[in-house]
């Protein structure tokens, strides 16, 4: 199994966490990236398998896949143990909704904060609105946590998607989790899992090399 990833690619890092949680052995190609040029030039293998030219791209034998959600669903089908989805159609649907919430609802304000790693930041009013939106999402997530401490029973794709968004909010000096004790406790508990901790450390190392502007925020 071969994964094309990027040092600060939110979606590729989601896939890496899932692969580690499932205990799968894989090789990784970290495609070139800079804050100034992004993923330019595009990696030829990534372009070959993804019309958008973006990571992640997973190659497993004779199949090549792109899009983090599609890859996570494939991994669950092909390597079902340990599972990253709950049992039952409704429970799985709720889990997918939470992953979608992380990918499609939380990401737009995060994209505004991502400009903090670039030479030209978003206007202050846009940053303020993005942080306010994230705080609202934190309120919602605080209420959605299950009694067992995760979002969908045991650790799942929902936890992976939400965790990576909160990790990026923290690395971009976004709003803290103050006032959200259950969410903060969940974050610390998930961050301590080896699969998650490994990615946290790797992103921090990448930021030291690629994102020195974060030190001035």
Encoded tokens for 104? 């499609």
Q: Which domain holds residue 189?
A: 89-216
Q: Judge if 141 and 47 occupy the same domain.
A: no
90 vs 75: CA distance, rounded Å: 20
Q: Indicate whether 155 belongs to any domain.
A: yes
Q: What is the pLDDT of residues 25-52, one digit of tens each?
A: 999 999 999 888 888 889 999 999 999 9
Q: Indicate whether 144 belongs to any domain.
A: yes
Q: Judge if 60 and 108 occupy the same domain.
A: no
Q: What is the pLDDT of residues 52-86, one digit of tens each?
A: 999 999 999 999 999 999 999 999 999 999 999 99
Q: Indicate whether 83 belongs to any domain.
A: no
Q: pTM for the whole thing? A: 0.95
CATH number (domain holding residue 168): 1.20.1050.10
Q: In what order do the strands lie in the sheet with 63-66?
A: 27-30, 2-5, 57-60, 63-66
Q: Indicate whether 198 belongs to any domain.
A: yes
Secondary structure of residue 43 in the 3-state scheme: coil
Q: What is the pLDDT of residues 109-145, one digit of tens each?
A: 999 999 998 778 899 999 999 999 999 999 999 999 9
Is there a cis peptide before residue 175, judged by omega within 30 degrees of 0?
A: no
Which of 50, 78, 106 terminates a domain? The answer is 78
How many domains would you assign to the chain?
2
């Amino acid at each position: 199994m071969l994964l094309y990833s990027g040092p600060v690619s939110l979606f590729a890092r989601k896939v890496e966490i899932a692969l580690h949680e499932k205990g799968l052995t894989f090789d990784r190609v970290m495609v070139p990236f800079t804050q100034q040029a992004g993923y330019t030039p595009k990696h030829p293998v990534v372009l070959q398998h993804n019309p958008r030219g973006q990571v992640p791209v997973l190659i497993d034998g004779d199949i090549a896949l792109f899009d983090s959600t599609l890859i996570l669903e494939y991994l669950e089908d092909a390597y079902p143990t340990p599972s990253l989805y709950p049992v039952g159609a409704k429970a799985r649907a709720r889990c997918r909704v939470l992953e979608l919430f992380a990918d499609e609802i939380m990401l737009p304000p995060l994209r505004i904060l991502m400009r903090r790693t670039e030479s030209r930041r978003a206007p202050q009013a846009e940053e303020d609105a993005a942080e306010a939106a994230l705080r609202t999402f934190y309120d919602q997530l605080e209420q959605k946590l299950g009694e067992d401490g995760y979002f969908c029973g045991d650790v799942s794709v929902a936890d992976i998607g939400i965790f990576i968004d909160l990790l990026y909010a923290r690395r971009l000096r976004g709003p803290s989790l103050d006032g959200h004790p259950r969410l903060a406790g969940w974050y610390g508990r998930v961050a301590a899992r080896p699969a998650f901790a490994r990615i946290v450390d790797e992103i921090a190392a990448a930021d030291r090399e690629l994102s020195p502007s974060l030190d001035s925020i």
